[in-house]
Structure 1
Amino acid sequence: MRKQSTIAALMFAAISCMMVANPGMPSKKKDKKAQVDSTAVAVGDSVFVDSLGNEIISTETDTTQMDSLQKAIWKHNKVVDDSIRLDSINRKKSGGIDAPVQYQADDSLVYDAHHKVAHLYGNSNVKYENMDLTSDRISMDLDKSNVRASGTKDSMAEGGIKGKPVFKMGNDTYDTDTIKFNFKSKKALINNVYTEQQDGFLTGMKSKRDSSGVVYLQHGRYTTCDDPHPDFYISLSRAKVRPGKDVIFGPAYLVVCDVPMPLGIPYGFFPFTKSYSSGFIMPTYGDESDRGFYLRDGGYYFAISDKWDLKLLGEIYTKGSWGLSAASNYRKRYKYSGSFYFSYQDTQTGDKGMPDFTKHESFKVQWSHRQDSKANPFSSLSASVNFATSSYERNNLNSLYNPQTMTQSTRTSSVSWSTTFSSIGMSLSSTANLSQNMRDSSIAMTLPDLNISISRFYPFRRKKMVGDEKWYEKIAMSYTGHISNSINTKEDKLMHSSLIKDWRNGWQHQIPVSASFTLFKYLNVNPSFNFTDRMYTNKVEKSWDATAQKEVCDTTYGFHNVYNWNMSIGLSTKLYGFWIPNRKLFGNRIDRIRHVITPTVSFSYAPDFGASHYGYWDTYQKTDADGNVSLVSYSPYQNALYGVPGKGKSGNISFTLGNNLEMKWRDKNDSLKKVSLIDAFDVSMSYNTAAKVRPWSDMNINLRLKWWKNYTFNMNAVFATYAYEMDENGNVYVGNHTEWGKGRFGRFQGMSQNFSFTLNPEKLKKLFGGGSDEDDKDKNKRKDDDDEGMDTDIESNVDDSMEKGKTGAKKSGGGKAKTDSDGYMAFKMPWSLTFGYGVTMREDTRREKFNEKSMRYPYKFTQNLNMSGNVRISDGWNISFSSGYDFDNHKLSMTTASLARDLHCFNMSCSVVLAPYTSYNFTFRCNAATLTDALKYDKRSGYSNAVQWY
């Protein structure tokens, strides 16, 4: 039988009484009849309260529809004096409960009229305001406004108790053994409470909850392990829990695998709030051989707002070294997001006053900024800054165990901004670039680099087209402007450089004019004219000081304009050829082969800008110490930012012959398929009509073969046109006679190729034809790795997750686990192995290697081999490694290995660097973010004595 009632605030009269009214009982509501649709509790026989808390005055009571329990309650309430009942009706609610109490039970409801206690059995539930209590057994003392809940002993249930109370109050949930709650005071007494607070779980043998929701625990435990029998916990003698905020505890100690650790904590707290909050960051400690004992990464976190924060950290060493760092993250939804980091280190090694004492000051700046595309479709700002002094990474402990950081020879930084004016087709973009060479501390900086461009437009095209398009309407123009200011210097001289004398700046304009016509329907003609103008602020005039025997430079500042132009015209067409093979010899599988030839001839012309009237080139007379006189040619703008036009007139005729070979064939279903036999085979050369010496260029050949869908073979080969010759001193030089003239093909200059291949279980099965029919069906359902070039690690993870889902579904459904063809349980260990091989073929131009008979240098090969792999032994184990071999130096390249183990609520990782230096790093820490900095253990090799360079 299922009973359901609602208790109202008018329950507490001078003499408390209760009656359970049957649903559907007739009643009147203040001059208006109303039908009671739910079970209600009455005061006497005249006042009822429905589920909405409305008073219902009844003039008559029908007892024929009541059961024995309801009649007993009604008879008890009948003897109550009317005046007392009327007085209780007029009494304010402040003396009783402020809201209805709803309850229900699956098995039975028993009312003890003598003690005025209602007992609910079987999956019972009581609700009051935002309180929700569920248990197998619940008792309600109406006079005292108390409710008590407990489970029922059951040997078949987990822990021997079934239906343990679950108490919910707002957003907080408590699993308990027994609980007693007061409706008025909203206080609770709980035994063996269990509650989850963000990443942690709290239990307590005895606990109290006050009216504000604060829970006081005695003999409690705190852990981030979600297992019923946790791997570790912090045993708390006493604790105060503010739900959603924090837990503050007194004396506590750590317990791992039920073994108490000899580590006591007199006082502590854990924050639970999900919102931003400020607080201290505990430092880590350790010992470093050169700098002594240290405290690192300790400081304070400022939760300024939900849009940005700030973290200040410091480090200090007993031998005098110290450092400061600041990190900030910011984000504005649909606008921008980014992060900023700054670190300063004052590193001192050795003892003061001793020869081995050194002191270095270094810093690092990182800034990343990204603008949301929704913020402004016409303007954007992005930044990727990574600047550090050359000594920073050498003095940073974290960098020692990061091979990528330690071996990084260059760093690049850039900040870019762009905007577009779509109405006129103009766009502006500006960047600030910085490139560092960490080996020699050189810096190449550009600040700013501004580009102005106007997209292609047709100045002679009519706004309203009428009739055919005229030839001049096909003429198109565009504009590109480039303003730049750059410097190449050392990092210690950057801040002391002069903007006028040390920086190079200029403004370049480029105006290309082009058109496209068709002659005789098949011949494409493309004329073009390009104009380039440069504006500089200085020029350098040179002369020779015969006395000092050195070149003298004189820099003058002012406006200097340098321009050049060139023009070209190109003609191209396509020729198609088809070959249908003999059916008797080749059958019907090959339908036809198509050969496409694309010949291109172009002519370009540029005048001689080295002529004296341009003023771009000049000469000075040099007299050496022996009295020899010579003329030295130079350009006053040769060190300028955009260079200077070259000397000499040019008139190049270029030839390009492109080839493409495709075949159509029929498969087993008689469907036509197309395959590329030669994707591209291009041959190109040029002839300079204005050159008096060596007018022919080298011949370039480009071959592209599409071997399979995710790999294309590319080869770019250069064949030198002119042969080697020897002078009277036996020196080898490139002569004026062609290889063709000597009856030889052009001299092969060399090539380079890189090959990579990834092997995984799926590819291995495919290579050896393994795998069951079910596996083949699964492969057909998903895209093949070879065809789509999917990442093997991702595919392995996905497949493994799918496999777990299938196996878990079978087990949960009562079926058998997946087995192989021999009946054994299927075992899968995802792994991947990637090989990379690069080879470069070049001429060995050492004089002793020259062959005077063949007049050729021999070829030398440069090879490198890289290998990386990943093995996931189980869900918790992951092993990865990377290495390589340098064939030139005959030694291993950077070799690293790492091992990661997921220990449920802890994570263990170990990384080792084996070559070219040795180091290790072992970390054991808690997975939960709340304890990740509190419960951890780090062990690293020493900073200097454990690192062996070779």
Structure 2
Amino acid sequence: MRKNMLIILLFFVITFVMAEMPRLTFPILGAANTDVSDSVGKGQTVNTQLLPHSAKSDSTVIDTTTQVLADTAKMDSLQKAIWMHNKAIDDSLRADSINRQRKNGIDAPVEYTAEDSMTYEGASGLAHLYGQSHVKYQDMDLQSDQIFMQLDSSLVHATGSLDSLGKKFGTPIFKMGSDTYENDTIAFNFKTKKGLISDVYTQQDDGYMTAQLAKRGANGEIYLQHGRYTTCDKDHPDFYIALSRAKMRPGKDVVFGPAYLVVADVPLPFAIPYGFFPFSKSYSSGFIMPTYGDETSRGFYLRDGGYYFAINDKMDLKLLGEIYTKGSWGLSAASNYRKRYKYSGSFFASYQNTVNGEKNMPDYTKATSFKVQWSHRQDSKANPYSSLSASVNFATSSYERNNLTSMYNPQAMTQSTRTSSVSWSTTFSSIGMSLSSTFNLNQNMRDSTIALTLPDLNISISRFYPFKRRHAVGKERWYEKISMSYTGQLSNSISTKEDRLMHSSLTRDWRNGMQHSIPISGNFTLFGYLNINPSLTFTDRMYTQKQELSWDEATQTVKRDTLQGFYNVYNWAFSVSASTKLYGMYIPSRKVFGDKIMAVRHVVTPSVSFNYAPDFSASRYGFYKTYQKTDADGNVSLVEYSPYEGSLYGVPGRGKTGSISMDLSNNIEMKVKSDADSTGVKKISIIDELGASMSYNMAAEERPWSDLSTRLRLKLTKSYTLNINAVFATYAYEADSVGARPYIGTHTEYSKGRFGRFQGMSQNLSYTLDNKKVSDLIKWLKGERPKRKNDRDSRANRDDDYDTGVETNVDEDMERGKHGARKDNAGKAETDEDGYMAFNLPWSLSLGYGVTMRENTSGKFNYDSMRYPYKFTQNLNVSGNLRISDGWNISFSSGYDFENHKISMTTASLSRDLHCFNMSCSVVLAPYTSYNFSFRCNAATLTDALKYDKRSSYSNAVQWY
């Protein structure tokens, strides 16, 4: 009986133990005790993994009271609130799990590590991670010095630690997908993906968002309380927008309630009831707020307001308008487009209706004007055989005078000419032919003259050798060196006034035609050293009209009859040139010059050429005609003219041409031993070129010799070369009697025992001096040799060619994006070894001097020397830049006109980089006096919202009597 009772008791014990075994199974793999801190040494890493459980467990949690945080007395109010929030959730979960089954809330492995130690409480399911702790779950990543995980409720709590000085370190860094948050304390739920964050800090595009308390929703939205938005990257920002409460959708926008601006910790009386900041990386459409002001002649205005259309990632459109209280208004449209590795460009069109003065008053005027700009650039990689480029800048003559922006821009106001061009070209490499077409437009803003060419088509075939054998055997024959090419041009142009362009006739007012040019040339060598280059050029012109002239005796005027048809005008010219090189070597005496100078080489390059062209004004060609003119007195004369005079490509000149041109060029170099290397040598240019040229016209009956042209080129330094050109007249002045006006006669200056008469010269000299050059000069005077820095690859540091690989919209301000955050050392002065601010005052000064020397034929003639006095025209230009400290920059430009004894246009500007803001002031002193002050935020998102501009008023000069 006792034995049976023991067997029954043993059966119940085994059954009870087997039923309770699931309670003793820990979810941490490899953990056999509730405390694992003793098994891990300090500095070692504990790496464990929490696996998901899909099966239901019938175990119950032992009801034990566990202290979640070490000491609640050390917590602040916010940390206590978060701890109480987590404790309430834990208590509810524990109560629910005592009497019923529970399901694990995670569905993926949770990886967590700790550098210092880790403890686990089996009764409460709470894991403590200490020292650079790291928890990863799906796309969530949490790093902190202390992390507390509630394994059976999917909760995680992270906070930093305090050092011996009471400073917090190791604060949590929470990442969820592409969003990153830096905060003081965080509580997060794996399952619901909701969290409570204190002192959150996150970056969105070029802005930084902070808040004292934030709550994260399941979809990633964050609700902020007492938030701050700024584009300053400092820990203590220079400015911020204080937000009472806000909702942030990462990567999209921030919507906030009442907000006000704080600058340097001083709240400013600039508040708004609500607003939003867009954070979208892709462009979005929206309204553009206008600017306001007051203009003297047009009244109060609202301008540069409108709507921005983000059409797609490759194109945008901006529509702006302006309106004035006195009746003026304007509209403008601007678009940018870009397709990577293909093309990019921009388009701008503006129309203005300008009303000045009061109606029914003498100064009342009304004018319309417009402007069109188009710029197109094709990537060289897009198509190596075809290209399209455009640079169009067309505006009516009154546009810049009526445009408010141009009134404060002296360069725009004083611009006298505008040029526009659109060009397209393609190449057929198989046959060596290229085809190009251009559209050209030149405007004279002073007299509203327009010169338009539409189109200008060019066809060219590169040089080829028609007689060259395909399979050459033996030496090259002389006729195989003959080459030829072809160039054709088709044009249609007009020159007229601005208001007559649209009313012009294509047949009467436009000039059109086609021109062909076929040059044939060869290159031969005689006697082994003489180069002979003959050439024959044939030019043909095709016109669709010509003008026949006749004399009307009744009206005493010339009658013009325009004949339509096909007319051919041609000419040809032949030339041959010969040139060679003569070398001379001089080795200086070693006794006099030592061993430093090795040799001096003199190279003389003489050349002579002969040019011939027949007289195409002969009657057999028909290019020139005559008509009989009978004046009122009955005098009869023949007047020669060309029916093609004034045509697009002109007409061959009168007279036969047979000229001989001579040129002589000299070069002197010296070879010396190098100081750096005893075995090395280097060349020094003494005279880079000294040359002279002159020609003789055999067909001229009088004064066949041309003037003597001379040139001199000296390489003074590696970066500066001095060029001087001068002309000497061949024929002398003659006068029949003293007091008579001198004229150029037929006797040469050389026949009178004088050298050619100096005609004058023009020379521009410029030099830039900066603090580095002055420092190097002082060191050189002291005998110190400046240290040379090694060349570095600047390509790696350039970001203009850097390609992010992401196509974005083409608005440059928006594409540059991050203007608020500069580099880490921005705004910080450099310090020396002792920690004091290093003295550094970078500056540069550019001096430009131009002088022109010419004969003053309006002056008094000297009959003794048979010379006119010389007239000098001088001008001096000065520009400079001075950086007085980090962020402060001063620049100026001025000049002096020696002829008018006046100071030329003088401008000065002062700019201050305030890290997050930029302040600039510019002044124009002459010839227009104006000023401009600007203070605005650097960040692209706030540059139009946080700004202040002040400009001087523009008005015409008024004289009061």
TM-score range, shorter chain: 0.7 to 0.9
Is the CA contact (8 Å cut-off) linking 1:435 and 1:445 kept in structure 2?
yes
Looking at structure 2, the residues matched to 371 and 866 of structure 1 have their Cα atoms a distance apart, in angstroms, of: 37
| Deviation at residue 838 of structure 1 after TM alignment | 0.7
Given candidates 182, 188, 207, the residue that maps to 1:181 is 188
Residue identity matched to 2:770: N
| Deviation at residue 140 of structure 1 after TM alignment | 2.9
CA spacing shift, 1:743–1:325, aligned 2, 3 Å: same
**Paired position in structure 2 for 1:744:** 754
Is the CA contact (8 Å cut-off) linking 1:835 and 1:867 kept in structure 2?
yes
* Number of residue pairs matched by the alignment: 856
**Paired position in structure 1 for 2:105:** 96
**Paired position in structure 1 for 2:804:** none
Looking at structure 2, the residues matched to 686 and 771 of structure 1 have their Cα atoms a distance apart, in angstroms, of: 50
| Deviation at residue 913 of structure 1 after TM alignment | 0.8
Looking at structure 1, the residues matched to 958 and 133 of structure 2 have their Cα atoms a distance apart, in angstroms, of: 67
Q: Counterpart of 2:107 in 1: which secondary structure?
A: coil
Looking at structure 2, the residues matched to 269 and 282 of structure 1 have their Cα atoms a distance apart, in angstroms, of: 14
Is the CA contact (8 Å cut-off) linking 1:16 and 1:143 kept in structure 2?
no
TM-superposition CA deviations, 1:215-238 (whole Å, max 9, x none): 111222111112222211111122
CA spacing shift, 1:809–1:716, aligned 2, 3 Å: closer
TM-superposition CA deviations, 1:192-228 (whole Å, max 9, x none): 2222111111122222211111111122211111222
| Deviation at residue 782 of structure 1 after TM alignment | 5.3
Q: How do 1:239-258 residues align onto structure 2 when only pairs under 5 Å count?
A: 239-258=246-265
Residue 904 in 1 paired to residue 915 in 2? Answer: yes
Q: How do 1:678-757 residues align onto structure 2 when only pairs under 5 Å count?
A: 678-726=687-735, 730-757=740-767
CA spacing shift, 1:817–1:402, aligned 2, 3 Å: farther
**Paired position in structure 2 for 1:839:** 851
**Paired position in structure 2 for 1:169:** 176
Q: How do 1:871-890 residues align onto structure 2 when only pairs under 5 Å count?
A: 871-890=882-901
Looking at structure 1, the residues matched to 168 and 593 of structure 2 have their Cα atoms a distance apart, in angstroms, of: 82
CA spacing shift, 1:430–1:856, aligned 2, 3 Å: same
Q: Counterpart of 1:610 in 2: which secondary structure?
A: coil
| Deviation at residue 483 of structure 1 after TM alignment | 0.9
Looking at structure 1, the residues matched to 880 and 500 of structure 2 have their Cα atoms a distance apart, in angstroms, of: 44
Q: How do 1:586-665 residues align onto structure 2 when only pairs under 5 Å count?
A: 586-665=593-672
**Paired position in structure 2 for 1:312:** 319
Residue 557 in 1 paired to residue 537 in 2? Answer: no
Is the CA contact (8 Å cut-off) linking 1:807 and 1:817 kept in structure 2?
no
| Deviation at residue 561 of structure 1 after TM alignment | 0.5
TM-superposition CA deviations, 1:695-744 (whole Å, max 9, x none): 11111112222222211111221111111223678233222222122222
Looking at structure 1, the residues matched to 421 and 161 of structure 2 have their Cα atoms a distance apart, in angstroms, of: 69
CA spacing shift, 1:16–1:541, aligned 2, 3 Å: farther
Residue 121 in 1 paired to residue 130 in 2? Answer: yes
**Paired position in structure 1 for 2:282:** 275
Given candidates 381, 393, 409, the residue that maps to 2:388 is 381
| Deviation at residue 869 of structure 1 after TM alignment | 0.8
**Paired position in structure 1 for 2:801:** none
Looking at structure 2, the residues matched to 612 and 778 of structure 1 have their Cα atoms a distance apart, in angstroms, of: 76
**Paired position in structure 2 for 1:28:** none
CA spacing shift, 1:522–1:192, aligned 2, 3 Å: closer
Q: Could you tell which deviates more after superposition, 331-340 or 729-738?
A: 729-738
Looking at structure 1, the residues matched to 633 and 526 of structure 2 have their Cα atoms a distance apart, in angstroms, of: 64
Q: Structure 1 vs Structure 2: percent identity of aligned residues?
A: 69
CA spacing shift, 1:777–1:755, aligned 2, 3 Å: closer
Residue 855 in 1 paired to residue 872 in 2? Answer: no
Q: Counterpart of 2:953 in 1: which secondary structure?
A: coil
Residue identity matched to 1:486: S
Q: Counterpart of 2:479 in 1: which secondary structure?
A: helix
Q: Counterpart of 1:873 in 2: which secondary structure?
A: strand
Residue 145 in 1 paired to residue 158 in 2? Answer: no
TM-superposition CA deviations, 1:531-584 (whole Å, max 9, x none): 110001111222223332332222111111000011112222222222233333
Residue identity matched to 1:831: W
Which of 1 and 2 has higher RCO (CA within 8 Å, sep 6+)? Answer: 2
For structure 2, the residue ranges without an aligned partner over 5 or more in a row are: 1-19, 33-44, 58-96, 793-823
| Deviation at residue 16 of structure 1 after TM alignment | 8.9
For structure 1, the residue ranges without an aligned partner over 5 or more in a row are: 1-12, 26-37, 42-49, 59-83, 784-803
Q: Counterpart of 2:312 in 1: which secondary structure?
A: coil
Looking at structure 2, the residues matched to 283 and 844 of structure 1 have their Cα atoms a distance apart, in angstroms, of: 57
Looking at structure 2, the residues matched to 671 and 40 of structure 1 have their Cα atoms a distance apart, in angstroms, of: 66
**Paired position in structure 1 for 2:774:** 764
Looking at structure 2, the residues matched to 636 and 898 of structure 1 have their Cα atoms a distance apart, in angstroms, of: 58
**Paired position in structure 2 for 1:915:** 926
CA spacing shift, 1:14–1:402, aligned 2, 3 Å: farther
Looking at structure 1, the residues matched to 198 and 596 of structure 2 have their Cα atoms a distance apart, in angstroms, of: 83
Given candidates 476, 488, 494, the residue that maps to 1:469 is 476
CA RMSD of aligned residues (A): 3.1
Looking at structure 2, the residues matched to 16 and 688 of structure 1 have their Cα atoms a distance apart, in angstroms, of: 119
TM-superposition CA deviations, 1:842-880 (whole Å, max 9, x none): 11011x422222221111011111111111222211111
**Paired position in structure 1 for 2:434:** 427
Residue identity matched to 2:833: A
**Paired position in structure 1 for 2:523:** 516
**Paired position in structure 2 for 1:131:** 140
Q: How do 1:557-576 residues align onto structure 2 when only pairs under 5 Å count?
A: 557-576=564-583
Q: Counterpart of 2:475 in 1: which secondary structure?
A: coil
**Paired position in structure 2 for 1:817:** 833
| Deviation at residue 147 of structure 1 after TM alignment | 2.3
Is the CA contact (8 Å cut-off) linking 1:918 and 1:946 kept in structure 2?
no
Looking at structure 1, the residues matched to 236 and 581 of structure 2 have their Cα atoms a distance apart, in angstroms, of: 77
TM-superposition CA deviations, 1:656-697 (whole Å, max 9, x none): 222222222334536433222222222221111111111111
Q: Could you tell which deviates more after superposition, 272-281 or 576-585?
A: 576-585
Instruction: State the TM-score, normalizing by the size of structure 1.
Output: 0.85
Residue 326 in 1 paired to residue 326 in 2? Answer: no
Residue identity matched to 2:526: L
**Paired position in structure 2 for 1:206:** 213
Residue 405 in 1 paired to residue 415 in 2? Answer: no
Is the CA contact (8 Å cut-off) linking 1:22 and 1:39 kept in structure 2?
no
Q: Counterpart of 1:440 in 2: which secondary structure?
A: coil
| Deviation at residue 17 of structure 1 after TM alignment | 8.1
Is the CA contact (8 Å cut-off) linking 2:332 and 2:350 kept in structure 1?
yes
Q: Could you tell which deviates more after superposition, 290-299 or 672-681?
A: 672-681
| Deviation at residue 54 of structure 1 after TM alignment | 8.6
Residue 535 in 1 paired to residue 542 in 2? Answer: yes
Is the CA contact (8 Å cut-off) linking 2:830 and 2:837 kept in structure 1?
no
**Paired position in structure 2 for 1:503:** 510
Q: Could you tell which deviates more after superposition, 487-496 or 449-458?
A: 487-496
TM-superposition CA deviations, 1:380-426 (whole Å, max 9, x none): 11111111112112222222333332222211111111111111111
Residue identity matched to 2:761: M
Is the CA contact (8 Å cut-off) linking 2:448 and 2:497 kept in structure 1?
yes
Looking at structure 2, the residues matched to 573 and 553 of structure 1 have their Cα atoms a distance apart, in angstroms, of: 54
| Deviation at residue 106 of structure 1 after TM alignment | 3.5
Q: Counterpart of 1:536 in 2: which secondary structure?
A: strand
Q: Counterpart of 1:829 in 2: which secondary structure?
A: coil
Looking at structure 2, the residues matched to 672 and 119 of structure 1 have their Cα atoms a distance apart, in angstroms, of: 76
**Paired position in structure 2 for 1:941:** 952
CA spacing shift, 1:171–1:693, aligned 2, 3 Å: same
Looking at structure 2, the residues matched to 14 and 873 of structure 1 have their Cα atoms a distance apart, in angstroms, of: 80
Looking at structure 2, the residues matched to 393 and 453 of structure 1 have their Cα atoms a distance apart, in angstroms, of: 40
Looking at structure 2, the residues matched to 231 and 460 of structure 1 have their Cα atoms a distance apart, in angstroms, of: 79
| Deviation at residue 261 of structure 1 after TM alignment | 1.4
Residue identity matched to 2:183: T
TM-superposition CA deviations, 1:244-295 (whole Å, max 9, x none): 0000111111111222211221121111111121111111111112111211
Residue 356 in 1 paired to residue 356 in 2? Answer: no
Residue 367 in 1 paired to residue 379 in 2? Answer: no
Q: Counterpart of 2:480 in 1: which secondary structure?
A: helix
CA spacing shift, 1:260–1:741, aligned 2, 3 Å: same
Q: Counterpart of 1:571 in 2: which secondary structure?
A: strand
Residue identity matched to 2:129: L
